[in-house]
Structure 1
Amino acid sequence: MFFTHTLSEATKKMERYCAYQERCHKEVVSKLKEMHMIPEVIDQIMAHLILENYLNEERFAKSFARGKFSIKKWGRNRILKELKLRNISKYNIQTALQEIDEEDYKKTLDTLANKRVEQLTGKSLQEKRRKLADYLLYRGWENHLVYDKIQTLLKEHHL
């Protein structure tokens, strides 16, 4: 047996859930399904949350992009992929990616690459380059930026 929520209980719970941190529609729908809410009620609660500005996908996407870039040091490709997984629209993804300052983006890549190079000790040059590229590409940095950075490091550190 499982506990069922009334419409007003579920609505209040979702208001608190959305007020705690930015959420995307997919997360909220998933949470409502976990609460065993029927589709009609889910639609009703979602409409309420959007109308009352608890849910805003553009705001979510911008916050997500800023946070993942500044805290996790993710590149644009990884952020884009993760936003797509959350069914965020192309428009909102583009708007979110504009939140990342180009100068900060380049500085972060530089810092990340230099820090990683220092960690790669006792390996052949070929292996160091491969490991650095794998690391940066996994974090979502664009191919051309990664390979340009490796070329620069090759000259600076004889990588």
Structure 2
Amino acid sequence: MEKLQFVTEQGFNQDIKEFYMNEWPSANEEVFGFTDQSKWKMEEKMITARIDNQIVGVAQFRIIGGVGYLSTLLIKEEFRGKGVFGQALLSEFEQIAKAKNCHKLSLKSYKNSRAANFFAKHGYQEEGVLKNDIHGIDWVMMAKYSF
């Protein structure tokens, strides 16, 4: 038997791409019952809220496998906490996800934060807690199924 080696790679070179192309279909068939790689096509999108062409808020998300993942909802400081721009951006994200036939919306927020409370107020429920996660604080995974 040959000696196992570990190589830390910088990005996806051609042999890694070929490995993925060859191995993912059978792994997907084993777990999901399909080999069609197009079902994993990911769309990344960004919505901006603007006043007089100046950005006052951003929602960044991706859609894959019927799930809309909201990665960022950021409002300009002077408009935070007013419940206008965040709610509008969240609603726009949900409408796009619905039009793309998403069955679930998902996000990650700081546990017990104003943001987590905002999402809960808009129908997102806690799915789990990531203890001592990014920057050593607890994060909460939240989801919404009816939108």
Q: TM-score range by the shorter chain?
A: under 0.3
**TM-score computed with the length of structure 2 as normaliser:** 0.26
**TM-score computed with the length of structure 1 as normaliser:** 0.25
Q: Which has the larger radius of gyration?
A: 1
Normalized per residue, the structure richer in helix is 1
Normalized per residue, the structure richer in strand is 2
